[in-house]
Amino acid sequence: MNKVKVLFVSSEVYPFAKVGGLADVVGALPVELQHHHCDARVIMPLYKSIKQKHEHNLDFIGWKMIKMGWRSLYAGLYTLTMNGVQFYFVDNEYYFNFDQVYVEYVFDIERFCFFQRAVLDFLGDFMRFEPDVLHCNDWQAGMMPLLLDAHYKKYGYHTNIKTVFTIHNLKYQGIHGIEVIQDLLDLPSEYLTDELSIKDGAVNFMKAGIVYSNSVTTVSPTYAYEIMTDYYG
């Protein structure tokens, strides 16, 4: 029986970069899944601190030019293995050559638009790994299920991939203007509607992840209950 192939997508992963609990979960869960008939791997940005600390352990896989609106931008892909888990890192100095994970909100929206596009472009033959499950975490990966449909599955690519979206912190949702996101992600208007990805007149990455993913989870049953109440939700 073949192992289930899972790729976790996250803006932060312990021990490489940590701001909050998101990093702890995505750092620990793939290690545990290796003991449950899964080939669990992780992909995240290559921040400056990671490059400096692990430069001698990082193996370069290759690079692609990623379409971002009217521009095409370099994205490199590196990898290393730690605790039995293979980690991938997306490199672009303009977006990720910072010591901190998060820089400035509007710029962060653009940074993680690029990150999501790059991850999807790397899947399959390029990274020699086609996951059965793409596990997207928080708003920084929230547009991926939608992008997978808009730019790949519709054209016959990655058609067997299922998506899971996990909510770690509902407070931060990734909200920005429609025209900017439509340009950055090259999205047809049919994907930018109140039913799919628009909330209160703006694109909401968290909403897109909830609506478009095959499954939605949270970090605990208690948190799942809390975010469905009027106070937290």
Residue-range domain boundaries for the chain? 4-173+213-226
d(CA 196, CA 210): 9
Peptide bond into 188 cis (omega under 30): no
Please report, rounded to a whole number, the percentage of residues in the chain having pLDDT higher than 90. Answer: 94
Q: Read off the pLDDT of each residue in 136-165 and give the average, rounded to a whole number.
A: 98
Q: Which CATH number fits domain 4-173+213-226: 3.40.50.970, 3.20.20.140, 3.40.50.2000, 3.30.70.930?
A: 3.40.50.2000
pLDDT of residue 117: 98
pLDDT of residue 1: 76
Q: Are 86 and 79 in contact (CB under 8 A)?
A: yes
* DSSP H helix total and E strand total for the chain: 8, 11
DSSP 171: T
Q: Where are the beta strands (DSSP E) in the chain?
A: 4-9, 38-45, 59-68, 71-82, 85-91, 133-137, 162-167, 175-176, 198-199, 202-204, 215-218
Q: Which tens digit of pLDDT belongs to each residue from 172-219? A: 999 999 999 999 999 999 999 999 899 999 999 999 999 999 999 999
Q: Where are the beta strands (DSSP E) in 111-209?
A: 133-137, 162-167, 175-176, 198-199, 202-204
Residue 70: pLDDT band with limits 50, 70, 90: confident
Coil, helix or strand at residue 201: coil
d(CA 157, CA 146): 14
pLDDT of residue 233: 62
With a cut of 80, say whether residue 123 has pLDDT above it. Answer: yes
Phi-psi sector, 37: left (phi>0), alpha (psi -120 to 50), beta: left
With a cut of 90, say whether residue 80 has pLDDT above it. Answer: yes
Average pLDDT, the chain: 96
pLDDT of residue 14: 98
What is the dihedral sign for C-alpha 208, 228, 170, 77? negative
Of 90, 221, 76, 63, whose CA–CA distance to 144 is shortest? 90
Q: Are 121 and 155 in contact (CB under 8 A)?
A: no
Give me the residues paired with residue 217 across strands: 166
Residue with the larger pLDDT of the pair 196 and 61: 61
d(CA 106, CA 147): 20
With a cut of 80, say whether residue 232 has pLDDT above it. Answer: no
Q: Read off the pLDDT of each residue in 79-88 and give the average, rounded to a whole number.
A: 98
